[in-house]
Structure 1
Amino acid sequence: MASAAFEEIADTFEFLDDWEDRYRHVIELGRAMEGLDPALQVPATKVDGCASQVWLHPRIEGTGPAAQYDFRGESDAMIVRGLIAVLHALYSGLSVAEVLKVDAHAELARLGLDEHLSAQRSNGVRAMVQRIREQAAEAAG
């Protein structure tokens, strides 16, 4: 149930044999991602449970389960910024109902992230996914 953008990342990861190349690719995704306006980097958008500073700001168009989900994010760590870009690719453009159906753990496992992230980074990704799910559930009503 992943988006086309996420499938493109998965295809690229299959092409890259070395984890260091994959790691660099995640960082490049973060560099290319549109950042979050500093005015939106406030306590209400900060994600707790991450070793780095992380902010996620939802942008939801429409109402109810069919509302389209999008978000912007920011981090003070380049690898985490890249992980935000991966999550953006996974969820962006889906309806809030579809966001709630995504098995993020399984999708991210396809990239091998579960095997190569530190425990702290894995906890941070789980916290970001939880925040995204909360935002989608609230918007779905």
Structure 2
Amino acid sequence: MAQQAFEEIVEDFEFLEDWEDRYRYVIDRGKAMDGLDDALKVPATKVDGCASQVWLHPQTDGGTFRFDGDSDAMIVRGLIAVLRALYNGVPVGQVGAVDAPGELARLGLNDHLSAQRSNGLRAMIERIRAVASEAA
């Protein structure tokens, strides 16, 4: 059920054999992503449970889920970009059905992120699901 943008990341990861290259790829995705406007970096958009500062600004206009986000850590910005590829464009009512842990496991991220980063990633996914559930 992954979005095409996420499938492209999976294909790119398969091409990159070295984890250093994969980390660089994730960081580059984060660098390419537009930052979140400072006016949106408020307590309501801040994600608790992350080691770094993380903000997610979800939108559910027209029944489709999408979000923008930002972080003060480059690898986390990259993870936000990966999550955007997974969730942006999904109908709001189907966001909860996205198997984010399963999809991310296809990238092997679970085995290569620190415990703190994994907890932060889970916190971002929980926030995305909660917002979509409220909007559905």
Common fold by TM > 0.5? yes
Which structure 1 residue ranges, 4+ long, deviate > 3 Å from structure 2?
none
1:99-131 per-position Cα deviation (integer Å, ceiling 9, x unaligned): 110010000000000000000000000000000
Letter in 1 for 2:41: Q
Shift of 1:90: 0.3
Aligned partners of 2:93 and 2:111: how far apart in 1?
29
Question: 1:90-105 to 2 correspondence within 5 Å?
Answer: 90-105=86-101
State the 1:34 CA deviation: 1.5
Q: Distance in 2 between matches of 1:42 and 1:48?
A: 12
Counterpart position of 2:51? 51
Does the residue aligned with 2:70 lie in a helix, a strand or coil?
strand
Structure 2: gaps (5+ residues): none
* Superposition pairs of residues 121-136 of structure 1, within 5 angstroms: 121-136=117-132
Superposition pairs for residues 16-95 of structure 1, below 5 Å?
16-62=16-62, 67-95=63-91
CA distance in 1, matches of 2:119, 2:38: 24
Aligned-residue CA RMSD (Å): 0.5
| Equivalences, count | 136
CA distance in 1, matches of 2:94, 2:23: 28
Q: TM-score, with normalisation over the residues of structure 2?
A: 0.99
Q: Percent identity?
A: 71
